[in-house]
Homo-oligomer: A and B are copies of this chain.
């Protein structure tokens, strides 16, 4: 229960003794079903949440499929989603893909076999433009409700929950341009992913608006694709530094940490010589060397929205099957500083 329910209030509302209320709340036997129902009804009327145990009949398992738990953004999202589900009486089943092990399809099959009430996919194949969306249509055909987080596949009729990747890039570019940087690079993952395409679009448009650069030139010279890992960020950053960038925007904090490493390998300093901006944010990012300036993904809002829309789907009152886009925010720490032009 969120607030300590006062036994006396509940007993008065239900017209039973406090001892009976106590027996019901603690799941003790020896209470008639009708009495039990009136106690639970009193709880509802008074606005108290039912104890988890007493909600189970109405709820079920809900699957949560994530790529991994090593990037701290995934456990952060899993924590928010798991807690929101538990509060509603659902049991979260966390299924994590493994390199060379279980794929998204295998995990989905396992969850469906378990009779899950619904599935939340985080950064799944719905974010991969090269993947077949038939798997989601088949899930719909089997009557399994689902919500897709951090990706978008036109044609799939389900709720989508995403951060505003384009706005994220605008926040980063505006900050760096204000610091006087004119040569800004973007280190991103493979081109087939929706969040990557959106970040490139937002990045190119922001550079056009702020510095008058031609979007085609930006895509050719200032965007570097790589893997979504620290080593991938390091490789992409090295290529961008070769091309004279004094500021690097990275598609994840892990990539940004790799970018910091690439800067240092060339005998340069962050942020004195090169500024670095990450994306995601999680508790430890404030303690990195240097503390990363980053665009914070709105994880609590996204996680709660994913659960809320899934429960609407499960309840048969689905929200419109569109995309719900959440605004990120720029967190300025110690990895960004004045660029060469403002210093000169």
Cα–Cα distance between A68 and B283 once the two chains are bound (Å):
13
Q: Which of A9-17, A101-109, A304-312, A321-329 contacts B (4 or more CB under 8 A)?
A: A101-109
| Contacting residues, chain B, for A331 (C-beta < 8 A) | none
Q: How far is the CA of A61 from the CA of B63 in the complex (A)?
A: 12
Q: Are B56 and A110 in contact (CB under 8 A)?
A: yes
* Given the contacts A83-B101, A291-B289, A284 and B52 also touching, CB distance less than 8 Å: no
A75-101 interface code vs B (CB 8 A; 1 in, 0 out): 110110011001100011111101011
How far in angstroms is the closest Cβ of chain B from A23? 15
Task: Report if A70 contacts B (CB, 8 A).
Answer: yes
Chain B residues near A241: list those with CB within 8 A. none
Tell me the minimal C-beta distance from A276 to chain B in angstroms. Answer: 12
- Known interface pairs A288-B289, A289-B288; A95-B82 also in contact (CB < 8 Å): yes
Find out whether the CB atom of B106 lies under 8 angstroms from the CB atom of A53: yes
Q: Chain B residues with Cβ under 8 A from A101's Cβ?
A: 2, 83, 86-87
Q: Assuming A53-B109, A79-B69, is B102 touching A95 (CB within 8 A)?
A: no
Which residues of the partner chain B approach A78 to less than 8 Å between Cβ atoms?
69, 75, 94
Residues of chain B with a CB closer than 8 A to A86's CB:
95-96, 98, 101-102, 107, 110
Using known A-B contacts A2-B100, A92-B94, A290-B289, determine if residue A75 contacts B69 with beta carbons closer than 8 Å. yes
Measured in the bound complex, the distance between the Cα atoms of B284 and A68 in whole Å is 15
Are the CB atoms of B110 and A284 closer together than 8 Å? Answer: no
Q: A260 contacts which chain B residues (CB < 8 A)?
A: 287
Given A70-B79, A75-B69, A284-B72, A52-B106 contact (CB < 8 Å):
yes
Q: A263 within 8 Å of B by Cβ?
A: no
- Chain B CB within 8 A of A340 CB: no
Smallest CB gap from A75: residue in B: B75
CB of A113 within 8 Å of the partner chain = yes
The answer to whether B113 and A96 have CB atoms under 8 Å apart is: no
Interface residues of A (CB under 8 A from B): 2, 27, 51-53, 56, 61, 68-70, 72, 74-76, 78-79, 82-83, 86-87, 91-96, 98, 100-102, 106-107, 109-111, 113-114, 257, 260, 283-285, 287-291
